[in-house]
Amino acid sequence: MYRGLFPLGGPVPERDLVGRKGFVDSLVNRLLEGQNVMLTGPRRIGKTSLAYEVLRRVKEDGSYTASVDFFRFSSKKDFATGLIDACLENRTGISKTLKLMQDKTKILTSGAKFAIKLKDLEISLGYAKKSDDELLDFALQLPGILTEKDKKHMVVMFDEFQDTARVAGPDIFKHMRSHFQIQTQVSYLFLGSKEGMMNTLFSDRKEAFYRFATMLPIPNITDAEWVPYIIEKFNSRDISIKKSVAKEIVKLSGGHPQDTMFLCSEIYYALLETNSNTVTLEYTELGYDRAMIALAPIFDTVLDDIGNRLHARRVLYQLAAGKNVYPENVHPNAAKRAIDFLISKAIIEKKEKGSYAFVEPMFKQYILLTENQ
């Protein structure tokens, strides 16, 4: 499933989860104590990886878990069956229980087993006749039913939660909350990559999920956490690397989760191509150039996206160059709007004392490189 030495593009396996250990502990404790938690941050910073690790730990502790990803759903029915399957997996050990139950040949061979396993859950082979709304209503109740019947605690994770309304209509949040708030043995972990939407959903008085979950910031992965991981990984393939070189890699990527993995990966392939077994600064630079070339189309798309926002682009260049983000000949209000726009697009983020930083340090470098041409 995970190809390559450095996993890229999806949740990482346990052994490749760098840093954030204390945060994982804290999340596990909170969820097991019954607290609901909301985490938000730009894409590719490691939310899903983090949540999977939390669920692994919760499961290890003997609790039930379920996770669903709204990016994968396009309808109410998708969501309902996805959630039911995720819940039933705790009892059946099978991720597509409902599908299996619809398959006539399978029913003959394993139908009895399932009928017995699920008989107290009001779920039977006839579930397919239910309307989408009935199915969804059942799905939303299922975590509560399961935990009561099995005397278990359960943690349910919703990924890309801001997409719920697209999938199941605008009333879904009220509907969900009405079920969730009476489930005493279930904790919910909400993840979302649209920060503005997620914050509104959980902190606006008018929203159904107002104050339903504790909102926690996701800590960065520190250089001190990256360096030993990088050294160990290369060493595992009999490739040597000095600490100072590993530090340089993290400096170039800015420690951004996916960009750091990507840079390491490009360096690794450069070594393979030349049959070399030492990561030097030259290889690091070569890997960096290759990573930049591969990222360029993505960065260009982002730039195109803000292209017609004159001030946004200007502010972005100013920030990249380490200059004042309130340029002299731009009205401060216009500059502020541009900054807010860039934050809403998860291109920059607010730091302490009113300063701003790029979410992806390599994007900053890209802007400087292209600017100078």
Ligand X SMILES: Nc1ncnc2c1ncn2[C@@H]1O[C@H](COP(=O)(O)OP(=O)(O)O)[C@@H](O)[C@H]1O
In the complex, which residues of this chain contact Mg ion (CB under 5 A)?
Answer: 48
Encoded tokens for 195: 């920060």
Cα dihedral across residues 39, 255, 22, 46: positive or negative: positive
Residues 283, 267 contacting (CB under 8 angstroms): yes
Contact partner at residue 9 from ligand X, Mg ion, none, CB < 5 to 8 Å by partner kind: ligand X
CB 20, min distance to ligand X, A: 6
Residues 36, 188 contacting (CB under 8 angstroms): yes
Binding site for ligand X (CB under 6 A): 7-12, 16-20, 43-49, 221, 257-258, 261
Task: In whole angstroms, give the CA distance from residue 187 to residue 180.
Answer: 9
Q: Which is nearer to ligand X, 47 or 364 (CB)?
A: 47
CB 11, min distance to ligand X, A: 5
CB 50, min distance to Mg ion, A: 9
Contact partner at residue 4 from Mg ion, ligand X, none, CB < 5 to 8 Å by partner kind: none
Task: In whole angstroms, give the CA distance from residue 243 to residue 252.
Answer: 14
Q: Which is nearer to ligand X, 65 or 147 (CB)?
A: 65
Contact partner at residue 197 from Mg ion, ligand X, none, CB < 5 to 8 Å by partner kind: none
Contacts of 31 (CB under 8 A, 6+ apart): 37, 54, 58, 155, 187, 189
Contact partner at residue 44 from ligand X, Mg ion, none, CB < 5 to 8 Å by partner kind: ligand X
DSSP summary character for residue 63: -
Q: Which is nearer to ligand X, 11 or 196 (CB)?
A: 11
How many CB atoms lie under 10 A from the CB of residue 233? Answer: 20
C-beta nearest to Mg ion: residue: 48
Place of tokens 């043995």: 185
CB 24, min distance to ligand X, A: 9
Q: Which is nearer to ligand X, 11 or 327 (CB)?
A: 11
Strand-pairing partners, residue 349, are 357
Strand-pairing partners, residue 37, are 189, 214
DSSP summary character for residue 128: G
Place of tokens 């969730």: 180
CB 225, min distance to ligand X, A: 8
Contact partner at residue 17 from Mg ion, ligand X, none, CB < 5 to 8 Å by partner kind: ligand X
CB 232, min distance to ligand X, A: 13
Contact partner at residue 219 from Mg ion, ligand X, none, CB < 5 to 8 Å by partner kind: none
Q: Which is nearer to ligand X, 73 or 114 (CB)?
A: 73
DSSP summary character for residue 207: S
C-beta nearest to ligand X: residue: 46
Place of tokens 């690091």: 284
Contact partner at residue 72 from ligand X, Mg ion, none, CB < 5 to 8 Å by partner kind: none
Q: Can you tell me whether residue 241 is helix, strand or coil? A: strand
Contact partner at residue 194 from Mg ion, ligand X, none, CB < 5 to 8 Å by partner kind: none
Q: Which is nearer to Mg ion, 48 or 258 (CB)?
A: 48
Q: Which is nearer to ligand X, 219 or 307 (CB)?
A: 219
Residues 324, 333 contacting (CB under 8 angstroms): no
Strand-pairing partners, residue 187, are 155
Q: Which is nearer to Mg ion, 69 or 207 (CB)?
A: 69
Exposure class string for 152-164: b at 16+ Cβ within 10 A, else e: ebbbbbbbbbbbb
CB 31, min distance to Mg ion, A: 18
CB 45, min distance to ligand X, A: 5
